[in-house]
Each structure stands twice: as structure tokens, then as C-alpha cells.
Structure 1
Amino acid sequence: MMIKKLLPLIFLLTTFASFSQSNSLGKSDADAKTILDNVSAKFKTYKTVEAHFTLKIENSSGKAMGTKTGVVSMKGSQYRISVSGQEIYSDGTNIWTYDKSANEVQLTKFDPSTNTITPQKMFTNFYDKDFLYKLNGESKQGNKIVDEIELTPVDKTKPFFKVLVDVDKKTLAITNTKVFQKTGDRYTYTITSMKTNTNLPDALFVFNAKNYPKVEVIDLR
């Protein structure tokens, strides 16, 4: 049986596919870069991060197509993503992709030379070479004042043409990311809560087949 494809997760593993082109198609906004640099620097001070998020999917008419919730945990190079019965584990060496409905897990080797995007990268320097970016201004979201930054991909073959990122001015945390697909669909990722520097055991980032009776392990290493 084939592992079902995961839905796009919190601007985490699929939305910003990495590539090595230089940002030579235009000039980015210095103010936007300062904010993004500060977000990256702040994130790098955390030993661990656990963030809860929601994913809202809308069609080209703005009609809601569904909402999902999930959790992403990070520690050093390790991460774990859980959403709607689907999970991704990585201990920094291996990656396990588990599909609950099929009771299958696909095991692959993490290869840093392939420029694989990890959750850690998505909170740090993902923007340096992949996007042009500009500051759209600030707005109020509940009791927060956020800066909105608009990013457009340098690689025009990407399936999306624009990304809006909201950054909390006080905490320098990304609160929302809205991805505009060329099909007209929109994916909005919202961080609902985040804990930092808590105790996350290494075992959290390793798939343990003993906890999944009769799971089929597909080893592709």
C-alpha cells in the first residue's frame, strides 16, 4: 500500500521547497529583512519548541473547505509533526512518515545535501535566497500588534505565487502564514500556542513500532 500524501503542514515541509537560486530578480525591503532576521535570531535562542497550530483551507471564492489542527515539536535537529492522524518523526538521521488510516510508516534517510526543508529552517533563514519580500505595514490581531510581510518566490515554477507572514511585534514570533496557490486555493496556518525551552525527550522524535500494532514498515533507506 502507498503512504497517502500529507496535507500541506504549517509552512513546514512542503510550502517553501528549498532551492539554491540567488535572489537576483529584484530587490527586497530592508525593513522586512530586519524583522525576519530578528525572528530568526530569536528562534535560534530556544533549546526546544512545541507549537500548536491550525490549518484553514479556502477555495478561490473564499469558501472554507476545512480546518485541521496539529502540533510541531522541535529540539536541535530533531522534529515531530502531528496532524489529523498523520505524523512525521525525525531524529536528525532518519525520517518516519506515518499514515494512521493505512497503518503504514515510510522510513527514509535524512539527507542534508538535498536541501530538505525542516521545521527548524522554516522559522529561521528560509527567506534569504528563496523569496523577495516587503513590509506591508502593521495591524492589530486581538491584543497583538503584528507586522505583515509579503513574500514572492524567486522560482516562478512554484505552485504558489504569494505568502503573507504575520509577526508579533512584541514577541518576534510568527503568528500566521497565508499561502496563495496558483489554483486559487489558500492555506492559512495559525500558531495558537507555543512553549519554548521545555523538556522534550529524544524518544519523542523516534517512531516506535511497538506502539502501533501490526504497523507496516516500508524501509526506503
Structure 2
Amino acid sequence: MLNKILCLLVALCMGLTAAAQENNEARQLLDRVADAFRQAEGVEIAFEVRAPEGTSEGRIRLKGEKFRLDTEGITTWFDGRTQWTYLENSDEVNVSEPTAEELQSINPYAWLSLYKNGYMLKMGEQADPRLHKVMMTASRQGSELQCLILYVDKQTLRPAKLSLVRKGDREAVVVLVRSYQTGQKYDDALFTFDKRAYPTAEVIDLR
């Protein structure tokens, strides 16, 4: 039953068409959400990811374009240009410079700039009166992120849930926000890999 629901979600996203006024309403809401996020300074978010391959929990700390993402067995740092990904099982660190589209599958909050280009926007019907529902559909079939459905708390303008459909996937990935703390003070060093903390790790430069 779950698979059928998710496949229906994908089909709905692929077939979306939006009137100009609907686009404007959705875009204005996302502008407000993005502004609220940027004004919050450092942000710490605990979340749960429900994907076809299983369920996991994690924490992401953000400061502007920088982030540190901690999930089960994997830690990712991004300083705005360079990304380091530590894999606990193999004790190795992969170093890369991801594109904007590649970041979409790593950082759930990359939509803060993503929605401005290449996506059709539409407000969706939402059963929960406390939430807004915004639907984003890629205008190009080759986009890494084909569809994103965002649920936003009406009072705080904070994301409550994200549903993502990636290129080549038939099922959605759902990100549930468990806690959201703003005003955090982070040193820039938090967003870069410190070799001293992982002395035995093999560093693999993929740039």
C-alpha cells in the first residue's frame, strides 16, 4: 500500500500544471520561508529520513550555505565550496566540490535557492490547518530532483516535512523535522573536516 501511495505522489508531481496566480502565491510563501531561515543565523535541525532503503535519523547544523550533516555512520561537512564525507565503515574521507544539483540530494535545505529557477510552483491542498503545502516540479526531466513537496508551519514559517523524488527513483524520500533550533552560534571550523579528529582515516581527493 505504501508503494502505491508513493507512486501516486510521483505521478501527481509529474503531471502538475499551475496558473500564474498559484505560482506567485507559492513563490511568495517560499520567499518568506527562505528569508526567515536566513535571518535565524545558525540553525540546528534533528530529522528522520524515510527512504526506500530504510529509515534513519540525523542532525544538520547550518550557517548560510555551510552545513554539517551527521547521520548513522556518515558525517558530511560543507564549507560553501568543498565537501568532505567521512564513511565510518571504511574509515575514509571523500573530498569533492559538489554542484548545486548534487547538493540537493545531500542537504535537504538546498531548496532555499533551488525553487527560484527551473521549477514550477503550486500551492497544494492540506488537511492539517496548521500547515502550508507547496509543490515544486522540475521543468526539465533530467533534473536531479524531480519533485519536492514542502510542508511549512503557518505560524513559524519553519519546514515541518519534505517529500523528495529524485531522478530515476519510483519512490519518494520523506524527511520529517523532529526539532528546529535557531540562533545557534557556530564557528566556521565546524563546517570543515579536521584530520586530527580522524587520524587513521584515508583521504580520497575526488576533485
Instruction: Normalising by structure 1, report the TM-score.
Output: 0.73
Once residues 115 and 147 of structure 1 are traced to their aligned partners in structure 2, the CA distance between those partners, rounded to angstroms, is 26
* Cα pair distance change 1:158/1:219, threshold 3 Å: closer
Once residues 159 and 125 of structure 1 are traced to their aligned partners in structure 2, the CA distance between those partners, rounded to angstroms, is 15
Q: Does the CA-based 8 Å contact 2:48-2:57 persist in structure 1? A: yes
**Offset from partner CA, 1:60-107 (integer Å, 9 cap, x none):** xxxxx5210111111233211111111111233432111111100012
Corresponding residue for residue 186 of structure 2:
200
Instruction: State which of 128, 132, 136 in structure 1 corresponds to 2:124.
Output: 136
Once residues 124 and 177 of structure 1 are traced to their aligned partners in structure 2, the CA distance between those partners, rounded to angstroms, is 13
Q: How many residues align?
A: 185
Once residues 190 and 219 of structure 1 are traced to their aligned partners in structure 2, the CA distance between those partners, rounded to angstroms, is 32
- Stretches of structure 2 lacking an aligned partner (at least 5 in a row): 1-17
User: Is structure 2 residue 38 aligned with structure 1 residue 44?
Assistant: yes
SS at match of 2:35: helix
SS at match of 1:171: coil
Corresponding residue for residue 60 of structure 2:
72
Q: CA RMSD in A?
A: 2.6
Corresponding residue for residue 169 of structure 1:
154
Which deviates more, 41-50 or 92-101? 92-101
Corresponding residue for residue 143 of structure 2:
158
Corresponding residue for residue 16 of structure 1:
none
Q: Does the CA-based 8 Å contact 2:96-2:206 persist in structure 1? A: yes
Corresponding residue for residue 133 of structure 2:
148
SS at match of 1:193: strand
* Cα pair distance change 1:165/1:216, threshold 3 Å: same
Instruction: State which of 36, 46, 51 in structure 2 corresponds to 1:57.
Output: 51
Corresponding residue for residue 217 of structure 1:
203
Instruction: Normalising by structure 2, report the TM-score.
Output: 0.78
* Cα pair distance change 1:32/1:92, threshold 3 Å: closer
SS at match of 1:97: strand
Once residues 97 and 146 of structure 2 are traced to their aligned partners in structure 1, the CA distance between those partners, rounded to angstroms, is 31
Corresponding residue for residue 8 of structure 1:
none
- Stretches of structure 1 lacking an aligned partner (at least 5 in a row): 1-24, 59-64
Q: Partner amino acid for 1:164? A: I
Corresponding residue for residue 22 of structure 1:
none
Which deviates more, 30-39 or 151-160? 151-160
Corresponding residue for residue 10 of structure 2:
none
Measure how far apart 1:26 and its partner are. Answer: 8.0
- Say which structure is richer in helix: 2
Measure how far apart 1:120 and its partner are. Answer: 8.8
SS at match of 1:175: strand
* Cα pair distance change 1:220/1:157, threshold 3 Å: closer
Q: Partner amino acid for 1:199? A: K
Once residues 134 and 154 of structure 1 are traced to their aligned partners in structure 2, the CA distance between those partners, rounded to angstroms, is 13
SS at match of 2:147: strand
SS at match of 1:125: helix
**Offset from partner CA, 1:28-84 (integer Å, 9 cap, x none):** 6221112111101111112211111110024xxxxxx52101111112332111111
Matches within 5 A, 1:170-189: 170-181=155-166, 183-189=169-175
Measure how far apart 1:196 and its partner are. Answer: 1.0
User: Is structure 2 residue 15 aligned with structure 1 residue 30?
Assistant: no
Q: Does the CA-based 8 Å contact 2:38-2:64 persist in structure 1? A: no
* Cα pair distance change 1:36/1:93, threshold 3 Å: closer
Q: Partner amino acid for 1:212? A: Y
